[in-house]
């Protein structure tokens, strides 16, 4: 019997190995063919009098693990523009189009926004400024939409001509944020929650212990939304020659503006159909109106072939842009997280690289593990001692995101960046009730009073809570001391503006938490100045992602994600619920202490 099992096992293993080799060779061959085809020099060309098409449904992020070749393959197979593009790609491509005589106009296409973009307004602010530079060059911008959200309109409002479909509408109802609370469900299922925190505004724990917003949390969220909404009204109003007060009146009295009314309120220029937009674009490209389309090139395609001014530098002097995007977690972290160990190692590598003359730390993170934040901050501080470290804040750079930023030589933020949240908390869960109700009990033998303090089988005792609170207090005051030292602020002032409260970028500048209002390119130019590089430098972006071969193999094996579609309302709420629960999964700090944004920042 033993010999039979041995032979059978060997046969199965041999078959599997043979199948794997056959399958692997076929896969590698397929990948090689695809790469070869994608790498040929028979790619798209920019024709004279072309219109650059910018799909407003694109998600614009700081980083995108998808390589340009992989993106080209996906677009070729699907016939659609990829859903994600990086901020630097958008800005550099728009700047290139300004200098390219073959590009005569820009078309902001809102007709394909079947999926909602999650691009934040600080990111959109930088894109909008690039659109304004395009417009100032004398080239036309035409925007078309059917049902325009505020994010899309924030960009479209730059256009020389905004056209809305006769059946379309324009969202102009202000911003709102609707946190989800799990307290009732936790009580129902018998899951206990105990909280330790410092800072009356540190409200990340509220969804698990309250059933509605606390007074302090409501106050800070209201102030933050007001700042962001004020920036929106001022910026859009200036482009459309409408006062902020008029936009507020529209938000209060209408909310959703129909096409026929939008033109009377100067929010758009024309009411028209898609074919009429095509005809207008054909006039710009000098084509016959009998054609169904116009001479065009998509933004993502043009990005791969455009001659981008200032980006094709070759120098021994490097400015490294290091992206900290996602939750800050202890350890290595995933591709969508900032791992304390891996990120610190990357910063250390840049510090020791003599060819790297300056580092731009781009932060787009709500924070997370206090331990990981401290590990990263130490490397930031050490790097600053040997070369300039300039911080550029994106949509969110709060709590742990601010912790890792505070020792930068200079901190840039957009007016609608969410930052601050100087505070810490701990969330202690137990499953005693639900376990007991299902017949599960525990007993313990221990050699010290606090030997079982990490158990989830019971609530923490008052003595254990006091011990945890002491640790949280120490971490909080360390956080404050670091901010006071790095920002050269009195500790008493830092204590007043801390308490876990979040601030907009414009408020943060007034409070001394950031130095300058500006975007990523502003931070890069400043880094070059501080390193005394003149024009003799080139840009390197970190972290580096998987190669195309690795990604194709992973996707071929079934790990690729399906294309996103606009979820139905019930599914949308479920996805919000899933996102909120993901916050718990990212909580892996070894001390259970977190410097994180007080909530999952999300507003409509």
Which residues are catalytic, by number?
202, 399
Q: Report phi then psi at 164, rounded to 5.
A: -120, 135
Q: Which residues on adjacent β-strands are paired with residue 59?
A: 84
Q: State the Cα–Cα distance between residues 446 and 469, nearest whole angstrom.
A: 23
Stated as kind and residue range, the H or E segment containing 357 is strand 356-365
In sequence order, what are the residues at sequence separation of 6 or more whose Cβ sits closer than 8 angstroms to the Cβ of residue 436?
190
Q: State the Cα–Cα distance between residues 484 and 197, nearest whole angstrom.
A: 20
Could you tell me the CA-to-CA distances from 378 to 109, 192, 423 in Å, in that order? 45, 36, 18
Distance of CA 248 to the CA centre of its chain: 28
Could you tell me the CA-to-CA distances from 216 to 139, 153, 303, 347 in Å, in that order? 48, 32, 45, 37
Q: Which of 343, 360, 317, 590 is nearest to 475 (CA)?
A: 590
What is the 8-class DSSP label of residue 560? P
Q: State the Cα–Cα distance between residues 385 and 374, nearest whole angstrom.
A: 17
User: Token pair of 581, please?
Assistant: 């629960």
Query: Do residues 557 and 26 lie in contact, with contact meaning Cβ atoms separated by under 8 Å?
Result: no
Q: State the Cα–Cα distance between residues 315 and 567, nearest whole angstrom.
A: 47
Q: State the Cα–Cα distance between residues 170 and 344, nearest whole angstrom.
A: 45
Q: State the Cα–Cα distance between residues 573 and 331, nearest whole angstrom.
A: 31
Could you tell me the CA-to-CA distances from 521 to 84, 90, 94, 117, 575 in Å, in that order? 20, 12, 13, 23, 33
Q: State the Cα–Cα distance between residues 234 and 213, nearest whole angstrom.
A: 29
* Torsion angle of C-alpha atoms 300, 306, 311, 312, degrees rounded to 10: 130
Stated as kind and residue range, the H or E segment containing 391 is strand 389-398
Could you tell me the CA-to-CA distances from 218 to 178, 215, 230, 242, 367 in Å, in that order? 11, 5, 18, 30, 21
């Amino acid at each position: 019997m033993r010999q039979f099992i041995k032979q059978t096992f060997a046969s199965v293993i041999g078959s599997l190995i043979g199948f794997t080799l056959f399958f692997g060779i076929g896969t590698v061959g397929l990948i090689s063919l695809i790469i070869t085809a994608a790498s040929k020099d028979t790619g798209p060309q920019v024709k004279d009098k072309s219109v650059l098409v910018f799909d407003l449904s694109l998600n614009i992020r700081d980083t995108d693990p998808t390589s340009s070749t992989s993106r080209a393959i996906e677009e070729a197979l699907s016939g659609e523009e990829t859903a994600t593009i990086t901020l630097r790609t958008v800005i550099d491509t728009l700047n290139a189009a300004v200098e390219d005589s073959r590009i005569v106009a820009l078309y902001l296409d809102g007709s394909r926004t079947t999926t909602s973009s999650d691009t934040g307004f600080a990111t959109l602010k930088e894109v909008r400024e690039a659109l304004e530079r395009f417009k100032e060059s004398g080239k036309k911008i035409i925007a078309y939409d059917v049902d325009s959200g505020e994010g899309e309109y924030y960009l479209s409002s730059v256009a020389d001509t905004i056209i809305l479909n006769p059946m379309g509408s324009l969202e102009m109802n202000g911003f709102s944020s609707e946190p989800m609370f799990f307290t009732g469900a936790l009580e129902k299922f018998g899951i206990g929650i105990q909280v330790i925190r410092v800072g009356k505004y540190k409200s990340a724990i509220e969804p698990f212990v309250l059933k509605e917003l606390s007074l302090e949390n409501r106050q800070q969220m209201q102030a933050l939304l007001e700042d962001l909404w004020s920036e929106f009204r001022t910026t859009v109003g200036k482009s459309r020659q409408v006062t902020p007060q008029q936009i507020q009146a529209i938000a209060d009295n209408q909310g959703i503006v129909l096409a026929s009314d939008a033109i009377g309120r100067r929010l758009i220029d024309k009411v028209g159909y898609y074919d009429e937009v095509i005809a207008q674009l054909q006039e710009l490209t000098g084509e016959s109106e009998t054609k169904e389309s116009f001479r065009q090139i998509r933004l993502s395609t043009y990005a791969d072939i455009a001659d981008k001014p200032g980006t094709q530098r070759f120098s021994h002097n490097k400015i490294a842009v290091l992206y900290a995007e996602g939750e800050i977690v202890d350890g290595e972290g995933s591709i969508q997280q900032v791992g304390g160990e891996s990120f610190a190692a990357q910063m250390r590598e840049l510090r020791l690289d003599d060819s790297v003359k300056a580092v731009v730390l781009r932060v787009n993170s709500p924070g997370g593990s206090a331990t990981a934040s401290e590990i990263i901050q130490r490397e930031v501080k050490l790097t600053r001692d040997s070369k300039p470290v300039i911080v550029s804040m994106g949509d969110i750079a709060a709590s742990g995101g601010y912790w890792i930023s505070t020792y930068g030589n200079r901190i840039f933020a957009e007016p609608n960046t969410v930052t601050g949240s100087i505070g810490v908390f701990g969330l202690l869960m137990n499953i005693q009730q639900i376990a007991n109700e299902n017949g599960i009990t525990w007993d313990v033998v221990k050699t010290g009073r606090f030997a079982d303090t990490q158990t989830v089988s019971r609530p923490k005792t008052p003595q254990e809570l006091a011990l945890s609170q002491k640790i949280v207090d120490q971490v909080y005051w360390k956080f404050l001391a670091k901010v006071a030292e790095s920002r050269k602020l009195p500790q008493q002032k830092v204590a007043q503006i801390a308490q876990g409260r979040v601030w907009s970028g414009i408020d943060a500048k007034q409070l001394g938490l950031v130095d300058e209002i500006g975007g990523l390119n502003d931070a890069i130019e400043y880094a070059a100045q501080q390193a005394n590089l003149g024009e003799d430098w080139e840009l390197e972006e970190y972290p580096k992602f998987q190669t195309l071969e690795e990604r194709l193999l992973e996707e071929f094996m079934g790990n690729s994600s399906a294309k996103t579609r606009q979820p139905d309302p019930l599914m949308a709420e479920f996805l919000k619920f899933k996102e909120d629960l993901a916050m718990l999964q990212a909580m892996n700090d070894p001390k259970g202490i977190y410097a994180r944004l007080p909530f999952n920042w999300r507003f409509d």
